[in-house]
Chains A and B, each alone.
Chain A
């Protein structure tokens, strides 16, 4: 059984132009003990989804419909205080910008102790010991607990954020673009820390990213998100090797490969639909080189395709042919 099952989740934001569905009828399963990559371009709702799962949405946002079933319980039926009690003990969060996510005027030791004492019920002495242990776990010198966040480099701050997230032994960690702000060398170090800890502590992790390379390097599974919905999901190796959705195909070609300078970078033309007025059919249709009349009018249902692989595309049967055509920049240029 999945550790986390999201069913038909809809998250809306109130805007001056009326409510907008940042997440719209989304389904997602996160099995225990895996790293699931949640990938998509900016504004597709992936960060909103992460915050909705934690139950901490911005003021104007709310969960309008759907179920979040975590460890067998529907979190939507929880009271606010029960929900709060769950946070950080069972599910924790690693933010993108660890600089601003740490309180600038408090030592790391104080920020660690706050969680361990207030949320974990530890004594001051136990908290000190546990803080050192956590710092060692993420590869930081426990002596650095006395430092303030601004004394740390970006990579060190991200490690500290990971240590904070693991403080109360959560079963699920949601990492929102944890390496986006870091250079590639440090990205790899941080991803290695995440992978190693996931394996050692048998964590489940949702790793929100826009970078296919991060998915390829660190994730067991991947869910591709577009305009508030999951368009394709499955084992990372399978999805990256044999993408079934044209958007996934586009994403796999949209990143440069340093080893193959001949390989042309294929941009996905256009921009995602306005979520105030989403199109009636497939949301990707307007940017899809393979879209036809049905794509424009009927939303494709999510359906299994092969073992452990879901896709929401009317043309998934022809994926093999489409993959060949998607590799050619001319195919995508025609949309522009």
Chain B
């Protein structure tokens, strides 16, 4: 098990190296020049050259790459062109917001999806199924921004129950993230984006849980559990759900990784100050260091969560072994 975990970590490092290198190449292949964006045309050619020099952009590509990698290893992602702050600081401010949004909505989505999916596996072929499956599919298929706008229209603009965007009410500066976290205002702002994301995410666990549950309920050991005269509860929870949950747990870990980067749309609709919105801003303004940093962070989280999913599966399913002897 330990050997396997170390092996996975080795893979992780390799993938991260590839991702960071690709990011480096990608940004240099993009048309245009970062200086075009934040230098006015009135600047002289000397000023521009001096600026390029100060950013190190006059050096040969391979030298830039080595500097970039060396900086990365020190946890140094450079300065934002436009905001004049360190990229690490900017990402550090945005990441907790994204993590909270993702964890809250994903947990709600999976809690709801698993219970509803298991329930639907029992109630096959009824009115409940006829209504529930299409609704689950519809919310899954609906674009997130559309769902988000509907909720905004209904609950924020018309009813006025929820704020229309941001993480805190205007004029409310709470300083550190931890003080925001305990303020009701923060959670009040979180409600609509989290609900949108939850609606969008619940379809997968629901349908997955239902499908695997139906599979498991046909298994011989479920028949045997009935033969043994075990209570319905024991059969459903201890045997059926325990087995049906295996792929759902994997999907959760993968979903966590994907959502950190995939919240771009919801964060933009609700002006939620997370990584996704930061990335959009950075790309729009050609703020290369910031965009690069956001990309690397998103990729790192995704790759990390894949590894977690892999390791979690081994812990949950004793049949998955990695050459470990028993």
Q: Which residues of A contact B (CB under 8 A)?
A: 54, 56, 84-89, 92-93, 95, 97, 100-107, 114-115, 118-119, 147-148, 150-151, 164
CA distance A88 to B234 in the complex (A): 15
B243 near A119 with CB under 8 A, answer no
Q: Nearest chain B CB to A144's CB is how many angstroms away?
A: 10
**Chain A contacts of B221 at CB under 8 A?**
100-104
CA distance A49 to B242 in the complex (A): 31
**Chain A contacts of B226 at CB under 8 A?**
56
**Chain B contacts of A54 at CB under 8 A?**
227
**Chain B contacts of A84 at CB under 8 A?**
229
CA distance A150 to B246 in the complex (A): 17
CA distance A147 to B326 in the complex (A): 8
A95 near B224 with CB under 8 A, answer yes
Q: Mostly helix, strand, loop or mixed at chain A's interface?
A: mixed
List residues of B (229-252) whose CB comes within 8 Å of A's CBs.
Answer: 229-231, 234, 238-239, 242-243, 246
A56 near B318 with CB under 8 A, answer no
B228 near A119 with CB under 8 A, answer yes
**Chain A contacts of B234 at CB under 8 A?**
114, 118
Is B317 an interface position by the 8 A CB rule? yes
B231 near A93 with CB under 8 A, answer no
CA distance A147 to B321 in the complex (A): 13
A150 near B319 with CB under 8 A, answer yes
**Chain B contacts of A118 at CB under 8 A?**
230-231, 234
**Chain A contacts of B316 at CB under 8 A?**
105
The residue among A95, A103, A118 with the most chain B CB atoms within 10 A of its own CB is: A103
**Chain B contacts of A103 at CB under 8 A?**
221, 225, 239, 242-243
CA distance A101 to B234 in the complex (A): 16
Q: Which residues of B contact A (CB under 8 A)?
A: 219-221, 223-231, 234, 238-239, 242-243, 246, 316-319, 326
Partner of A88, one of B229, B231, B238, B246: B229
A-B contact count (CB 8 A): 71
CA distance A71 to B91 in the complex (A): 74
Q: Are A87 and B239 CB-contacts (below 8 A) given A105-B319, A118-B234, A150-B318? A: no
B319 near A148 with CB under 8 A, answer yes
CA distance A102 to B227 in the complex (A): 12
Residue of A nearest to B223 (CB): A56
A87 near B219 with CB under 8 A, answer no
**Chain B contacts of A107 at CB under 8 A?**
318
CA distance A141 to B206 in the complex (A): 42
Top 9 A-B residue pairs of the complex, sorted by shortest distance between their CB atoms: A87-B229, A100-B220, A148-B318, A84-B229, A93-B227, A101-B224, A101-B220, A88-B228, A103-B221
B229 near A104 with CB under 8 A, answer no
A and B contact pairs by CB, cutoff 8 A, 22 listed? A54-B227, A56-B227, A88-B227, A89-B229, A93-B224, A97-B220, A100-B220, A101-B220, A102-B221, A103-B221, A103-B239, A103-B242, A103-B243, A104-B243, A105-B242, A105-B318, A105-B319, A115-B230, A119-B228, A119-B230, A148-B326, A151-B326
Q: Nearest chain A CB to B262's CB is how many angstroms away?
A: 31
**Chain A contacts of B318 at CB under 8 A?**
104-105, 107, 148, 150
B317 near A105 with CB under 8 A, answer yes
Residue of B nearest to A89 (CB): B229
**Chain B contacts of A105 at CB under 8 A?**
242-243, 246, 316-319
Q: Are A86 and B229 CB-contacts (below 8 A) given A103-B239, A105-B319, A148-B318? A: yes
B220 near A104 with CB under 8 A, answer no
Q: Nearest chain B CB to A101's CB is how many angstroms away?
A: 5
Residue of B nearest to A119 (CB): B229
Q: Nearest chain B CB to A253's CB is how many angstroms away?
A: 33
**Chain B contacts of A87 at CB under 8 A?**
227-229
**Chain A contacts of B231 at CB under 8 A?**
118
